[in-house]
Amino acid sequence: MADNRFVVTAKQRGACFCPVSASVLMPVDKVAGKVLVDERSGAPVPTQAEAFAGGTRIHWMLDSMAPRQQRRFRLTDGRAASGPGVEIAEVEGKLQVKIGGEVFTNYHYRNITRPVLYPVIGPFGHGVTRAFPMEDLPDDHKDHPHHRSIWVAWGEVNGSDNWSEQPGHGTLAHRAFEARSGGCVCGIIATRNDWLNKDGRKLMEDRLVYRFYNLPASMRLIDMEITLTATEGDVKFGDTKEGGICSVRVAAPIEAARGGRIENAFGGVNEDETWGKRAQWCDYSGVVGGHRVGICVFDHPTNFRHPTYWHVRDYGLMTANPFGLSHFHNSKEFDGSHVLPAGKSLAFHYAIFVHAGDATEGGVRNRYLDWVYPPQTNVAE
C-alpha cells in the first residue's frame, strides 16, 4: 500500500503545541506497524491511532508552526516513535491520569454524588482546584460542598436538583466505561452516566469523553465532550444560575477574593465584569506555592447559545451556564429554559486549559484559537 502523505497548513497566527489529526483508509491494527515522519527533518513523530467507522484517525502534536507555514508528513512502514505519554490506570477505585510519569488528575466515579476530576495539578506541582470536600485543607473555605474541583451538573432537570448536595438532591451515577486508555499523544476516558432524581428515577443519560493531552509541563489541556440524551421522555433544563455543564472551583489562593484574577475573552475582570456575561472563554489565575498559575474554560462555537454565559464568582466558582438567562439579565422577560425532546441529544464541547502565569502570560487567547481553529490537515498530492 502506498504511503499516506499529509500537508498541514497553519492559520495566519501560526500554532503552538496544537493537536492535529488525519484519516487513513486502513484498519487500526495496520496503523500500528507504521511510523509518521516529518518530511522536513526526517524525524519520526509520536502518533496515536483511533478506530472510527470506515477507517482510522491518527493523532499527533505540532510543537510550533509559523503563520501560514506548511509542513508535510508521511505515514510509512517503520517503528513508531515513542516516549513518555499519558497513562490511565485504575488506582484505589478511581482512574489515575499521569502525564510524563507525573500524576495530573484522578477521575472519581465510585461512591460519590457526581463524578469529578480531582486533584488537578498545575505547572509547578500544586493543585489549581479546591481540595474541599475531597480533602480537608486548613486554608479552604467550607462553603458549597457540592463545588468539587471539576464536575458536570445542573440545578433543574425536570424539576430535580442535580446541582447541590442539599436534602432531596439528585445524582449522576456512573454506568459504564466505553474507553479508558493512554497513549503518546493523549489519554482518553469515555464514560456513560445516568442522571437520577432524589428517588433514584432516571431522568436522562450522558456520554462524557475526556481527552488529556501530552503537553509540556508548563501547560495542560483537557478536551471535554458531553452529550445529553433524553432517554426517558422530554427533559426540561430549567432557567437557573445554579448549574454549569462544565464547572470548576479553583484552589483557595486563586480566588479573586484572595488576590486572584478572573478574566474573560472580552477583557472583563473579576466578578463585577464577568458574572452573567457571555464570552468565548473565562480564565481564573492566582499565586499558588509562590507561582502564578491559571485555569481556563473554553466554549466551542458549536455549543448551544455560544458564546456561553458565565456563572463565575470572586469566591472561586467558574461555570459555563447556557440556561440561566433570567438571572444573568435580571429580568423575567428572558427565559433560558430549554426542552430536549424525547429521544434527542444535546452535545457540548469544552476544553480546560491549565497554564503558567495569568491569561496574558499563559497565552490563553492563542491557545483558544488553536483549539477552535487548528491548522488544516489535507491529503498531500
Tally the domains of the chain: 2
Query: Same domain, yes or no, for 222 and 301?
Result: yes
The answer as to whether 28 is a domain residue is yes
Domain membership flag for residue 381:
no
- CA nearest neighbour of 33 among 3, 81, 73, 78: 78
| Same domain? 147 vs 220 | yes
- C-alpha 321/C-alpha 302 separation (Å) is 15
Q: DSSP label at 257?
A: G
Pairing of strands 86-91, 291-299: unpaired
Same domain as 277, residue 364: yes
Q: Which of 7, 248, 31 is nearest to 144 (CA)?
A: 248
Torsion angles phi and psi, residue 209, rounded to 5: -125, 120
Asked if 119 and 131 count as a contact pair (C-beta separation under 8 A), the reply is yes
Tell me the C-alpha distance between 83 and 63, whole Å: 15
pLDDT in tens, 305-351: 999 999 999 999 999 999 999 999 999 999 999 999 999 999 999 99
Pairing status of strand 317-321 against strand 309-312: antiparallel
pLDDT value at position 288? 96
Cβ atoms within 10 Å, residue 64: 11
Same domain, 176 and 325: yes
Residue 61's CATH number:
2.60.40.1180
Distance CA 47, CA 37 (A): 10
Grid cell of 54 as nine digits: 470506515
Residue 92 lies inside a defined structural domain of this protein: no
Final residue of a structural domain among 33, 62, 82: 82
> pTM of the predicted model, to two decimals?
0.96
Compute the distance between CA of residue 157 and CA of residue 339 in angstroms, rounded to an integer. Answer: 10
Domain that holds residue 144: 122-372
Check residue 213 and give left, alpha or beta (phi > 0: left; psi -120 to 50: alpha).
beta
Length of the chain in residues, anyone? 381
Termini Cα distance of the chain: 16
pLDDT tens across the length of the chain (381 residues): 457 899 999 999 999 999 999 998 888 888 888 899 999 999 999 999 988 877 899 999 998 999 999 999 999 988 766 667 999 999 999 999 999 999 999 999 999 999 999 999 999 999 999 999 999 888 888 899 999 999 999 999 999 999 999 999 999 999 999 999 999 999 999 999 999 999 999 999 999 999 999 999 999 999 999 999 999 999 999 999 999 999 999 999 999 999 999 999 999 999 999 999 999 999 999 999 999 999 999 999 999 999 999 999 999 999 999 999 999 999 999 999 999 999 999 999 999 999 999 999 999 999 999 999 999 999 886
State whether 149 and 27 are in the same domain. Answer: no
Cβ pair 7, 21 in contact under 8 A = no
**The last residue of a domain, from among 24, 56, 82:** 82
Q: Where are the alpha helices (H) located in 106-247, listed in sequence order?
A: none
Q: Is residue 134 part of a domain?
A: yes
Domain for residue 99, yes or no?
Answer: no
The answer to the question of residue 198 being in a domain is yes
Does residue 108 contact residue 134 with C-beta atoms inside 8 Å? yes
Please state, in angstroms and as integers, the Cα–Cα distance from residue 98 to each residue in 69, 152, 183, 220, 229, following that order.
32, 22, 11, 11, 31
Nearest-5° Cα angle at 202, 200 to 207: 125
* Residue showing cell 435580571: 330
Contacts of 127 (CB under 8 A, 6+ apart): 119, 120, 121, 251, 288
Q: Say if residue 21 is in the same domain as residue 148.
A: no
At residue 104, the 3 state secondary structure works out as strand
Q: Is residue 189 part of a domain?
A: yes
Residues 55 and 189 in one domain: no
The verdict on residue 95 lying in a domain is no
Q: Helix or strand or coil: residue 258?
A: helix
Residues 366 and 285 in one domain: yes
Q: Where are the strands (E) in 25-54, listed by range?
A: 34-38, 44-45, 47-52
For residues 13 and 151, membership in a common domain is answered with no
Compute CA 300 distance to the chain's CA centroid, rounded to the nearest angstrom: 11
Q: Are residues 15 and 133 in the same domain?
A: no
In this structure, the number of other CB atoms found within 10 A of the CB of residue 182 comes to: 19
Same domain, 68 and 149: no
**CB of 274 within 8 A of CB of 310?**
yes
**Which pLDDT score, from 0 to 100, does residue 1 have?**
45
| Cα separation values, 153 from 52, 121, 208, 305, Å | 29, 22, 12, 18
In tens, the pLDDT along 117-169 reads 999 999 999 999 999 999 988 888 889 999 999 999 999 999 999 999 999 99
d(CA 218, CA 215): 8
Are residues 9 and 157 located together in one domain of the fold? Answer: no
Asked whether 23 and 69 are in contact (CB, 8 A), the reply is no
Quote the pLDDT of residue 81.
64
State which of 82, 112, 138 marks the end of a domain: 82
